[in-house]
Structure 1
Amino acid sequence: MTTPLRHDTHVRIRSFLLIFLFVLAALGLVANDGGVASIALLLALLTIVDISLDAFERQARRSGRVR
């Protein structure tokens, strides 16, 4: 189990990564480079899934349902 400070740091890093990936995808679309845009969007999707799974796991731990 991670400490609250470590968890908050991870959430912030993933949030900044998500913003960066969306900006990179937008720039890839503007520059007409579909490869960069698609890779950035794929990584953004994986980051969203990672954030969501972490949130579900923390909620389950808080409510007493430990896996």
Structure 2
Amino acid sequence: MRVKAITDHVCYCCGGAIKKGEECIAFIVSPENPDKAEFDIIYICLRCSVDKSCQVKVRKRSAEQ
């Protein structure tokens, strides 16, 4: 979902900075550590949202359980 960052984040795909107030894409995914959280949220910058390799990387992360 397209959101405005309320804090600074790092793009999951390229590692670039997503500054507070910038628009980005947020995905709710399965947690890496289910004992600590019910879900994780990953953020990607708008530039990476149209990159096919980033879309594959996000889908792969979303499918992990």
- Measured against the shorter chain, the TM-score band is 0.3 to 0.5
Indicate the structure with greater helix content. 1
Indicate the structure with greater strand content. 2
Compare CA radii of gyration and give the structure with the larger one: 1
